[in-house]
Structure 1
Amino acid sequence: MSLLSLLPKAWCQNNAENVPVTPKVEQQGLVKSLVAGRTIAAAAVAEGDSCEFGSLHYFALCGLGGILSCGITHTAVVPLDLVKCRIQVDPVKYKSVFNGFQVTLREDGARGLAKGWAPTFFGYSMQGLCKFGLYEVFKVFYTDLIGEENAFLYRTWLYLSASASAEFFADIALSPMEAAKVKIQTTPGFANTLREAWPRIMREEGVNGFYKSLVPLWMRQIPYTMMKFACFERTVELLYKYVVPKPRAECSKPEQLVVTFAAGYIAGVFCAIVSHPADTVVSKLNQEKGSTALEAAKKLGMAGLWKGLTPRIVMIGTLTALQWFIYDAFKVAMRMPRPPPPEMPESLKKKLEAQAQK
């Protein structure tokens, strides 16, 4: 058995010895192949596309789209994120969003609102690379494992599994920069820049200082990402089915991107609620040396765990919508394959019809 044969089928379509035999379908007089692991008809490299769905080139572009999507959006909302973190760790001083902005402007000036932008940009760019890139990888991989019929029937579980797997690795990439960001934003006098924060954390806490919040980060980000991807995928499906007055194929690219933005915002609201308590623990944990996640949670209390939820809903809702919009727009700009919402495989339709006739 060759090493290539162990890879997902969709990865191996460029290798003649490992190409799975795929059925052909006639569509408007053109012969098109079914891409392995997909429930839709599409050419291996469809006319007008820059790459083949499921190829290494495709996954690399998805990762690049993730870098742009997460890096740009998280950096853009640094001021709101800074105030949110300060409300979480010091609710006595920072009583509300508006009060938080007022206090920060009074003490640090306008430049103070940009504190932590560098670790935010680099950290979330690395996270975006893994989050979006590996999500596409795991989605194809798991589809190949369970087959296209099960992938359609249990597609919500497919989205949840693929996104959780991707986020596990994404948080390992994010954790060091997240630790530096929170220290800069919530610990007065600790550091003003990434260049100052990084060596100080290493000197005072060692490597553990960068990863001590990894477990609560997983607790925050994995549920968040599972909701982000599964809710988005199913919301897009429902919007085209019940809200958009015409099929996706008849919608223009700008119209499709509007649907993407709307689905992203809806997903973002649920993401913020699901992941907020863990987000508060992460902020508190990175602020205090030597504290554990359980100790931080006990100190915050049930009410404290939900402090800062309103600005986080606004931030994450907008953030998630923009991320999906940028990611999808990047796919359009790069002429990447953008499969429509999944459709029931013909083989499954025939099985259901046969059962109905019995």
Structure 2
Amino acid sequence: MNMKPLFEGGRICEEFTAGYYGICALGGMLSAGTTHLAITPLDVLKVHMQVNPVKYNSISTCFTTLLREQGPSAFWRGRGGKFFGYGIQGACRFGLYEYFKKVYSNVLVDQNRSFIFFVSSASAEVIANVALCPFEAIKVRVQAQPHFAKGLIDGVPKLYATEGLRGFYKGLVPLWGRNLPFSMVMFSTFEHSVNFLYHNVLQRRKEDCSRAQQLGVTCLAGYAAGSVGSIISNPADNIVASLYNKKANSLKLAVKKIGFINLFTRSLPIRIMLVGPVVTLQWLFYDSIKVLSGLPTSGDVRTDIEETRTS
């Protein structure tokens, strides 16, 4: 695997410039939008299992029931919301994370690196979820309520007419509750995994590794990050599905109806199946775009002296 930069002069821009953050945002948009679009059928299964766990009590039951009652097209419902919504979220999540990480690294010089990863990802995710929320509101309804709308084009005016602007942001707080912990754990796990792999597995500096090796590190670190993040964020994911499909009218009632144990276990296997590979592919696409632009792959690789200083 020999990926050469697309530009003869090497890098299209220098790191930490406006152009650099623009490439990060573009990479995040393309990687997140395409990967989420690809796993729409699994997402449809997950939402139905969350909203109606009695009827859809397993992945196989959910699949066969939907296929029999609604046909193959049911598995692609909400694809527009996933592509555009998660594309915009990915642009904000990755682009702003890189920006905030640089800002906080300069301001919080003596802070532990994990703290910088946490606050950087949290700052980016707050903004990313404001952008995602309207698309998520339409997507979940379209997937779980076949007669609500066919997609974004007819779903947006219908939701606005019935619930107003509030309808698009009713799930913002649970969305933050799902995605903030996920993003914080995901980015921190990724950064530490990258550092661990270079120091303890390859035992070489990133600059001394081939592009194929660097992208291999990206994939391994991405899978670890996605798997850990999916477990952390599963309770809030169940609450989001319940609120948007009117199974409960408030956060407190949603938790009560779902049950404390079910918050952590309901739809968890399929969520891990979804999130682990998706996050891995997102990091691979994202870093591939950076490599093709002549930029280094992601990951904060620290020297032994720097780790001692910041620990």
Q: Same fold (TM over 0.5)?
A: yes
Matched, 1:145 2:107: yes
Q: CA deviation at 1:158?
A: 0.6
Give the whole-Å Cα distance in 2 for the aligned partners of 1:119 and 1:348. 42
Alignment-derived partner of residue 20 in structure 2: 58
User: What amino acid sits opposite 2:21 in the alignment?
Assistant: F
Match of 1:301, as an amino acid? G
Do the aligned partners of 2:218 and 2:298 also contact (CA within 8 Å) in 1? no
SS in 2 for 1:207: helix
The corresponding residue for 1:24 is: none
CA deviation profile, 1:138-168 (whole Å, cap 9, x unmatched): 0011111123xx25xx111111110000000
TM-score, length basis structure 1: 0.80
TM-score normalized by the length of structure 2: 0.92
**Aligned equivalents of 1:143 and 1:126: distance in 2?**
25
Q: Name the structure 2 match of 1:72.
A: 34
Select the structure of larger CA radius of gyration. 1
State whether structure 2 residue 95 is matched by structure 1 residue 119: no
**RMSD over aligned Cα, in angstroms?**
2.0
Alignment of 1:286-325 (within 5 A): 286-288=244-246, 291-305=249-263, 306-325=265-284
Give the Cα–Cα distance (whole angstroms) in 2 for the partners of residues 347 and 321 of structure 1.
Answer: 28
Residue 249 of structure 1, CA deviation? 2.6
Alignment coverage as a number of residue pairs: 301
- Equivalent residue number for residue 343 of structure 1: 302
Counterpart check, 1:280 vs 2:238: yes
Structure 1 residues 211-236: Cα deviation after superposition (integer angstroms, max 9, x where no partner):
00000000000000001100000011
Partner of 2:56: 94
- More helix per residue: 2
What's the counterpart of residue 333 of structure 1? 292
1:1-358 alignment runs, 5 A limit: 48-147=10-109, 150=110, 154-244=112-202, 246-288=204-246, 291-305=249-263, 306-338=265-297, 341-344=300-303
The answer on whether the counterparts of 1:163 and 1:225 sit within 8 Å (CA) in structure 2 is yes
Q: Deviations over 1:78-108 (max 9, x none)?
A: 1001100110110111111121111111122
Deviates more, 1:79-88 or 1:192-201: 192-201
Structure 2 unaligned runs (5+)?
1-8
Structure 2 Cα separation of the partners of residues 53 and 262 of structure 1: 24
| Residue type at the aligned position of 2:290 | K
* Structure-1 separation of matches of 2:140 and 2:157: 15
Kindly provide the CA deviation profile for residues 241-291 of structure 1, in whole angstroms up to 9, marking residues without a partner as x. 112254433321112111111111111111110000000000010001871
Identity %: 41
Residues of 1 paired with 2:170 and 2:146: CA distance?
Answer: 20
Matches of 2:79 and 2:22 in 1, distance apart?
Answer: 26
- For structure 1, the 5+ residue unaligned runs are 1-46, 353-358
